[in-house]
Amino acid sequence: MVKRAPFVIGATGVGLGLLFSFHTHPVTVSVSSSAGASPNGSSGSPTSSTTTAPSGSAASTPATPSTTAPGGAASGPTTPSTASPTTVASKRDATGQFIQYMYGDIQVKVTKQGTRITNIQVLKEDATDPRSAQINSIAIPMLQQQAMSAQSANINGVSGATFTSQAYYEALQSALDKLK
């Protein structure tokens, strides 16, 4: 027993040294929602909070140079409009299937403007127990944010809410399938 003591103390010291040298990085998230109902149920003006863009991506769009029209008045870009009646964005929405899972059930409604998802609303979310309700109250807004950022049902899910994540994905995908 005495022969192992230096080894145990040394291993403990190395383990603690590694533990204290571990540094986490803050997670940055970009959220943008359009006018209308927000995920918490209130309505109002659009809100937006942005973080720095990932390296290698454009953080802003370049300005288009303006031209001077005859008579000295400045005008916008001279690019001709190529919009056709089929590219005019129409607002459409669809309600996904009612998905039952191990800890409850969920149903979502998706609103699209053209090809862009503008809103995802949870129409029904019933948890079978208080713990599941607590998990869902944290996980569902995160899942909505992932779906809005991805502009699809291609979401990562939420750790600790696997069943909720899978059910949300299925409900969202069923709504998006109806909008195709």
Using one digit for the tens of pLDDT, what is the confidence trace for 66-79? 444 444 444 444 44
Q: Is residue 68 part of a domain?
A: no
Is the Cβ–Cβ distance between 117 and 147 less than 8 Å? yes
CATH number at residue 153: 3.90.1010.20
Give yes or no for residue 119 having a pLDDT over 80. Answer: yes
Range of the domain at 130: 88-180
What global pTM score does this model have?
0.52
Closest CA to 117 of 58, 172, 170, 165: 172
What HEC string does 58-75 produce? CCCCCCCCCEECCCCCEE
Q: Is residue 17 part of a domain?
A: no
Q: How many domains does the chain have?
A: 1
CA distances from 165 to 60, 106, 123, 155 (A): 33, 10, 16, 9
Q: Given this model, what pLDDT does residue 56 score?
A: 42
Give yes or no for residue 41 having a pLDDT over 70. Answer: no
